[in-house]
Amino acid sequence: PGRRIVFRFHSAPVEALGEDGVTAVRVSAGPREQDIPAGLLLRAIGYRGAAVPGLPFDEASGTVPHEAGRVS
């Protein structure tokens, strides 16, 4: 099987499941919870963006400025 990554927006992780490693992640999406099979769990919140050479960068917000998702 190929590898893939899925972003589930508007969901919050509740619990990492598995005995010797991660086998699934329980997420809450509003009033319901769902167990999602997973072999890898990454924590990626609260980090400040870094400037990329050649792209505009807003130092105050730590973001690349855009209009409707398009960098100008």
Instruction: Report the chain (72 residues): mean pLDDT per 10 consecutive residues.
Output: 80 93 93 91 79 92 89 80
Q: Which pLDDT score is estimated for 39?
A: 86
Entry pTM:
0.54
Q: Which pLDDT score is estimated for 56?
A: 94
Q: Which pLDDT score is estimated for 1?
A: 64
Q: Which pLDDT score is estimated for 49?
A: 85
Q: Which pLDDT score is estimated for 22?
A: 95
Looking up tokens 């997420």 gives: 27
* CA proximity to 38, closest of 27, 25, 21: 25
* CA proximity to 22, closest of 32, 5, 37: 37
Q: Which pLDDT score is estimated for 18?
A: 95
